[in-house]
Amino acid sequence: MRKQFLSTLINLISNKAPRGKYRKFRFGIFLDQLGIKSIRNFDTGFSVIELILAATLFVIFSSGAISIVLQALSSNRLGGEQAVATQFASEGLEAARSVRNQNYKYLVSSSGTGVRRSAGNVWEFYGTENYFGSNNKYKRVIKVEDVYRSGGNIVTSGGALDKNTKKITSTVTWNFSAARQNSVVLINYLTSFKKPIITEGGLLMYGDGTDVVKHRIFETALNTKFSKQVSMPTPIPTGTQTRTFLVRTSPTGSEAVAGYVDSSGILYIMCFDGYEWTQDWSAVVGGTGETGRFDIAYETNSGKIVVLYSTNNKPTNELAYRTKSGSVGCGGANWSVQVNYNPTQPKGIIQWVKMAWDRRIGSNLITAIYADDGSGLSNAVWDPTGNSWVQGSTLENSLENISTVQDVDNFDVEYMSQSGNVMVMWGYATGHGRNASNGTKYTICTNNGGAATYTGCSWGSIITLTTNDAVNLDISANPSAASNEIILGSVGSNTPGLQLAYWNGTVWNSPAIADTTTAAPSAGTKLVSTGWLVFTTYNKHVIAYHDSGAGNIGWYAGSGGAFTLQTDWAPSPLFTTSQRWYDIQMNPITQNQFLFFVTDSSNSLYAKRLWFLRIGITDYLFWTNSDTGGITSSLSQTISSPFSFAFWRNLTE
C-alpha cells in the first residue's frame, strides 16, 4: 500500500499521470529543472527528497482540510453557546417584566441584580447575579435604570426624568475559551402600563361606620360623577371607627397622602403612588376623632410632604411632624422619623391643627396655626431649608366655642396668591363662650421675599374686624396669580347670622350681616364655606351656608366687595334640615368649577358642582348633581371633617 501510494504521487509529480484531467498537474517539468529524476523502477525505493516533497504536499492539503473542519466545529459550538446565553438573557427580561406586572414600583433602579422565584412562585429581584450551566458557565446580571426624555424622546444625557419608564438591561457573560470571553446583551424598556390615567378629577375619602376607610374617584369630564365605593387597605383595630379625614394631592406628580383619626385617637397616614394605597405609619394624637388634630401640606415647588399633628401632651412637645421628600415614593421607610416641636405657646393639649401653603410657583412656604384646650391660638412658619418650624406667637387666648374648649373650628389661614402674604383670622369671645362679648380678629404675616428658601415673614398687629360672633368661620383666596383677594364667611350662634367680608389685597371692607336666619352651629359643626370660580379673566366668589329650616343650598355670589343673594338651589334629593359639615373644594386645573360637599343628620354625604360661564357680558352660575343621589348614608360621624376630597394638582405624569 505504501509503495502504491508513493508511486501514484511521484507519477503525478513527474507528469506520468494518465492523460486527461490529471495532466494539468505539470510538476514533472519543475522537477526536471531541479535535476530531480523520477523513479522508473519502484522496486529500487525512493529518494529522500521525493519523500520530503510528498510529505510536505500532504501536510499542506491535510492541514487546510483540518482547519476547515475545526473552524466549522468552533462555529457550531459558539452558535450553540450563544443560543443558550440568549435564552438565559431573555429569561432575565421576562423576569423583569413579571416584576413590573406585579407592581411597577418594584422596578427599583439597580446597577446589578439577580432574580429568583418568591414564596408565591413569582419572580422577584434578589442578589446581584444568576448562574446557569455546568460549573456555572453563564453569568447573568440585570440592570434597572431610570429613563430621561427630551421632547418625548429618550436621551442618554440631560432631559427630564420619566417616572413611568425604566430601562432593563440583561447581560450574560461566559468564557468561550481561556483567552476569550463572550457576552450577550438584551435591552428593553418597561412602562407603568397599569397606572391609572390621572385625568382631571380627584379623590374622596370617608368612613362608613366600619373599621375600613372607603374612597371614590371623581372624574371631572364625566360629571357622573363618582366611581363606585372602594375599601382602603389595612383596617383599623376592630371596635373602633374612622372619623376625621384629610387628603392632599401632590403638586409635582400623581401622589396623594391622606390621614384619618379613629375613635381611639390614633392617626393613620396613607399614601397613594398612582397605583395603590399603602398605610405608611401611625401616631397617637389623642381625643376621640371629634376635633382636627392634624393637617397635611405639600411644598409647592419640591413636592415634599409635611404632616403636623398633636402629640396629646402638655406642657412641652405638644406637636410633632414627619416629612417625606417629593423625589421618593410611598412607604414607611421613605418618611423621616418623628420630630417633636415644642412651641413656646400655647401650653395646652392641641385640639386643632391647620396649615396653608404658598401657591406661587417656586415657593416651598407653609404656615400652620393650632388651637389648644385652653382656648389659645398660635402660629408657626415652615422653614423648608432647615426642615423645621420657626416659632411664631400666641394670637389669641380666648377663642370662641360652643360649650367646651375647643369644640368648634372657628379659625383659618390662607396665602394671598400674588404676594405670598399670610392671612390668619379667628373668632374670639371675651369670657370664653358664646354668651360673652365676641367677634373676629385677624393678622397678616408680610412675606420678606422668600419662596423656595425661608427668609421669614413679619407678623403685623392683631386687628379686630367685627364684634359679631363667629362660631364657624372660613376664608379663601382668589387663586388667580395676579390677585391678593380673600373673602370671609362666618356664622354665629349667640345671634345666628351670616357675616360676609372682602379683602382687596390691602384692607377689609366693612363686614355685612347678610342673613339673620341662619341655622345655629353646634359642637363640631361647620355651616359655612367659601370658594372662588375663575373663567378666563373673570371671577366670582361664592359663600354657601345653612339657612335655618332649609334642605337646599343657600348661597351668595359676587365680585369684588359686592355680594348678591342667589336663589336657593334644590338638590336631588334634598338634604335634611339639620346639616352638619360644609366644605368647598376649588378645582386648580379647571377653575370655573368647584365641588361643594355637605353632611346632614341622616349620616349622609352629598357632593354638588357649581359652574361659572360668561357669555358676552352675561355671567352664568349653575349647579349640578355630581353624586347620583348621594355618596353614602352611613357616615361614621357627620361633624369635624368626616370626609375629605382633593382635586389632582398635577396631570403631567
Closest Cα to residue 169, out of 107, 226, 229? 107
Kindly state the DSSP code that residue 346 receives in the 8-state scheme. Answer: -
pLDDT value at position 384? 92
Sign of CA dihedral 321, 271, 259, 313: negative
Residue 153 CB burial class (10 angstroms; 0-12, 13-18, ≥19) = exposed
Residues 108, 158 contacting (CB under 8 angstroms) = no
For the record, the C-alpha cell of 368 comes out as 400652620
Closest Cα to residue 244, out of 278, 268, 273? 268
Tally of residues, the chain: 653
- Encode 212-237: b = buried (16+ Cβ within 10 Å), e = exposed: ebbbbbbebeeeebbeeeeebeebbe
Q: Residue 449: left if φ>0, alpha if ψ -120 to 50, beta else—which one?
A: left
pLDDT digits (tens, 9 = 90+) for 144-201: 999 999 988 999 989 888 888 999 999 999 998 888 899 999 999 999 887 766 668 8
Residues 139, 174 contacting (CB under 8 angstroms) = yes
- Encode 24-60: b = buried (16+ Cβ within 10 Å), e = exposed: eeeebeebeeeebeebeeeeeebeeebeebbeeeeee
Residues 38, 14 contacting (CB under 8 angstroms) = yes
**Distances, alpha carbon 547 to alpha carbons 105, 321, 518, 528, in Å:** 49, 39, 4, 10
pLDDT value at position 287? 96
pLDDT value at position 239? 77
Residue 198 CB burial class (10 angstroms; 0-12, 13-18, ≥19) = middle
Rounded to the nearest 10 degrees, what angle do helices 2-13 and 48-102 cross at? 100
Given a cut of 50, the residues of the chain with pLDDT beneath it are: 17, 21-27, 30-31, 34, 36, 39, 42
Q: Which residues contact 553 (CB under 8 A, 6 or more apart)?
A: 544, 568, 569, 570, 571, 596, 598, 608, 623
pLDDT value at position 23? 46
Q: Which domains, from first to last, does the chain contain?
A: 2-69 (no CATH), 87-191 (no CATH), 201-647 (2.130.10.10)
Closest Cα to residue 585, out of 572, 574, 596? 596
- Encode 243-264: b = buried (16+ Cβ within 10 Å), e = exposed: bbbbbbbbbbbbbbbbbbbbbb
If you search the block for the grid coordinates 362679648, which residue do you land on? 437
pLDDT value at position 56? 73
pLDDT value at position 528? 98
CA–CA separation, 268 vs 322, rounded Å? 13
Residues 377, 395 contacting (CB under 8 angstroms) = yes
Please state, as a whole number, how many other Cβ atoms lie within 10 Å of the Cβ of residue 645: 23
Please give the share of the chain, as a percent, with pLDDT higher than 90: 65
CA–CA separation, 456 vs 451, rounded Å? 10
If you search the block for the grid coordinates 374670639, which residue do you land on? 428
pLDDT digits (tens, 9 = 90+) for 229-275: 989 887 777 778 889 999 999 999 889 999 999 999 999 999 998 88
